[in-house]
Amino acid sequence: MFTGIVESIAEVMNVETEGTNKTFTFRSTIANEFKIDQSVSHNGVCLTVVAVDGDQYKVTAIEETLLKTNLGDLTPGSKVNLERCMPANGRFDGHIVQGHVDQIARCTQIAERDGSWLFDFEYDASTGNITVEKGSICINGVSLTVFNSEENAFRVAIIPYTYNFTNFHSLKAGDTVNLEFDILGKYIRRILGSYAV
């Protein structure tokens, strides 16, 4: 389980295609703390470390992951947000994040607001996912608060720290991001849906 509090940014060094899978080599300042078999969130996607060599490590994404996330778009030089699993005795600073991306969204607009930034996103609402005003959303592994919640769109505000220490500073209008919707909202929607006539 994760919390959506990004620890570091990793850079893609190499991408190898193996059948329908892709193995990514990343470089990160925290890679030397990783262990083989460890789960690490990459832009909100939980992937298993399969090799570690100094400040570089490898993970493999299967076809299902590549189809439902933006990881398939990564090329050497791309940057991703990293978070290790939350320790059982850790402080819970964000919200419950599983590292299981629900779908992608497209950034439609970015506006600077004298020291902060507003990011607008659109997603395919036919999947049944919803946002809630002032509820939580995980974007590329970052725990954020939703506002201007609509059926297929929402906005988030980004403070300077988050902008500078995640890959939000490299996002442009038209880019895709990974979304994980709030797990509590998903369970409530499923329960209430079973009572619909």
CATH code, domain with 164: 2.40.30.20
Residue 37 CA to residue 30 CA, distance in Å, equals 16
Which residue is listed with tokens 């819970």?
92
On whether both 51 and 121 belong to a single domain, the answer is no
Structural domain span for residue 33: 8-84
On whether both 184 and 126 belong to a single domain, the answer is yes
Q: What is the mean pLDDT of the chain?
A: 94
- The predicted-structure confidence for 94-111, as pLDDT tens digits, reads as follows 888 999 999 999 999 999
Domain count along the chain: 2
Nearest to 42 by CA among 89, 76, 2, 102: 2
On whether both 54 and 18 belong to a single domain, the answer is yes
On whether both 73 and 117 belong to a single domain, the answer is no
In a domain, 36, yes or no: yes
Residue 105 CA to residue 120 CA, distance in Å, equals 10
Report the pLDDT value the prediction gives residue 87, as an integer from 0 to 100. Answer: 80
Percent of the chain, pLDDT > 90? 84
On whether both 107 and 80 belong to a single domain, the answer is no
In a domain, 89, yes or no: no
191 vs 7, higher pLDDT: 7
Residue 26 CA to residue 16 CA, distance in Å, equals 12
On whether both 189 and 149 belong to a single domain, the answer is yes
On whether both 47 and 121 belong to a single domain, the answer is no
pLDDT confidence of 191, banded at 50, 70, 90?
confident
On whether both 135 and 73 belong to a single domain, the answer is no
Nearest to 65 by CA among 45, 85, 41: 45
Which residue is listed with tokens 């969130």?
41
